[in-house]
Structure formats: structure tokens, C-alpha cells
Amino acid sequence: MFLFGRSNGGLIATNMCSGIGEKMFKAAALLTPFYRLANEGLYAQLPKIKIINFFHPRMVIKRQITEKPPEYIAKWGHIFNDEGEVKLVTPLTVVNWSVMQEKAKQVIKTTTVPLFMITAEKDETVSNKAIKDFFALSSNPKNKILHVMDCDHSNILFDEPLVSCFIRDTINFFN
């Protein structure tokens, strides 16, 4: 069985590649895995967020995001029901992300499941540097990383030539 995860699903899929997952999955493809946000601001606030989480885990936190240019919205906006961004999170969500990201670092170092990581060159949601850093932690020689040019976190899924590129390479990796 093969495993595929995108964004937060890529983080979850990474963590599933440990323990029993090593026997279950032949390989995993991780499309723009959420190993770290591109915007570091949330991480600087993590100690405060952990305290808030203790008292108010479901309080809503508004994230500061970069708005997409009008031409981007004109081309892709009809696809998004949320403008393609997670604008609101809770302290509980942020703390869980942090814990899962730390666990994924350990999984990457030890898993025997071959991992195929795919980055989007213009991704402003997840950190490409973090994906490259995680890849560098891996010890499995079968692991591969693919950098898809001229795309971001969202349009890598919708722009036909980009989709064909990463699907073809993913199928080749799985074979």
C-alpha cells in the first residue's frame, strides 16, 4: 500500500511511517508537507501560545497572511472556498502542529519507508527550507526530493502541467 499526504496531510503521513506503518506502506509521497510554516511569526509566539492553550485551548487566533495578488485570485479564486489560506487557528491546533513537527523529525531519521518529498518553488504557506532540512535528516537512500518550479502551495494541485509533472514522478517513484 502507498501513502500520499499533502500539506498537513504530509505531516500526518510522515508520522504514519513509523512503527506499524513501516510494515504497512511500500512508500509515501509527501506533497508540500507541513514541516514548518513559511511565516516564522507563529513559532516566535509558541511559548505564549502554550500558556494560552492551558487556559483557553479553543480560543481563536487570527494569523497574519499575505494576500494573493488580484491576478492570482482571478485565475484560481473560483477553486477556493476559503481563499486557499488557513486564517484562523486555535492554541490547541498550534501546539499539536508543533508536537507533530517534532515527532516527524524523529520519524524521518529512522523510517525505512521510502519518502518522496515534493516542494512548490513559490510556496508561501509551508517552508521549503524546512522540507529540505527534513530531507537532509533522512537516512534512507531511496528517499527523493522534487522541486516543482513556478508553482505555489495551491496551484500545484490545479495547474495541469504541474499536476502531470508531480503525478508522473510520483508514479515512477512508487514503481
CB contact set of 69 (below 8 Å; sequence gap of 6+): none
**pLDDT score, position 62:** 67
pLDDT score of 165: 84
Task: Provide the mean pLDDT of the chain.
Answer: 86
Give 3-state DSSP helix, strand, coil % of the chain, rounded to 5. Answer: 50, 15, 35
Tell me which residue has cell 511569526: 41
Percent of the chain predicted with pLDDT > 90? 50
CATH number of the domain at 112, please: 3.40.50.1820
Is beta strand 115-120 parallel, antiparallel or unpaired with respect to 27-31? Answer: parallel
- pTM (2 decimals)? 0.84
Containing structural domain, residue 150: 2-174
The residues near 96 (Cβ < 8 Å, ≥ 6 apart) are none
Q: How many domains does the chain have?
A: 1
Tell me: pLDDT of 83 over 70. no
